[in-house]
Amino acid sequence: MIEYRVAVTEDIKGMFQLFQELKGEKAQVGFTKINEEKDLSQWMEDDTISLFVAVDSEKDVIVGVLRAKRGSTYKNHSAFLTAAIAKNYRGNKIAKSLTYYGLEELIQIGVKIARTYVYSNNKASLNTLLSCGFTISGTVHMHHFSEESGQYVDDIIVHKILK
């Protein structure tokens, strides 16, 4: 059974393990830039960052993380999202459920809009966000060149107005 909740200090080790797995599979997500658990401790102490986790309660393992980084002062009405799901758990709508959970929590603290960027070749993530009610706002054309596909990849900008 998968449970969704706000991350707590005791989750740092599990989040770090997930990020190391993502790094091992060369996932293109910002979480792979985390090199030490202390970086996650700093996130936990930062009032502009909200962290949410998906936990496989039977195995007591974190299988997904959603990070929402709010702007400061006059930009604190918005949050930029980053999410990742463990490889063995993808395709089970965990990202969708975790996103819905996180958005509800963000509404409670006054966030009015959520945004993120998704690589145009990441169809699964784009479809998840669209199914959660996000709207495509724009594109950063030819964001980077993919050696794997031999093509340029765009960054798709999506947003959702929260109630």
- What's the mean pLDDT when you consider all of the chain? 95
CB distance 16 to 40 below 8 Å: yes
The CATH H-level superfamily of 2-114 is Gcn5-related N-acetyltransferase (GNAT) (3.40.630.30)
Q: Residue 48 half-sphere exposure, CB side, CA atoms within 13 Å?
A: 12
How large is the average pLDDT for residues 118-133? 95
Q: What is the pTM of this model?
A: 0.94
What residue ranges do the domains of the chain occupy? 2-114
CB distance 114 to 162 below 8 Å: yes
Residue (of 74, 96, 92) closest to 83 by Cα position: 96
Of the pLDDT bands very low, low, confident and very high (cuts 50, 70, 90), residue 75 is confident
Q: How far is CA 42 from the centre of its chain?
A: 17
Of the pLDDT bands very low, low, confident and very high (cuts 50, 70, 90), residue 30 is confident
Pairing of strands 78-85, 113-119: parallel
Of the pLDDT bands very low, low, confident and very high (cuts 50, 70, 90), residue 78 is very high
Q: What local confidence, expressed as pLDDT, does residue 147 receive? A: 85
How large is the average pLDDT for residues 14-30? 92
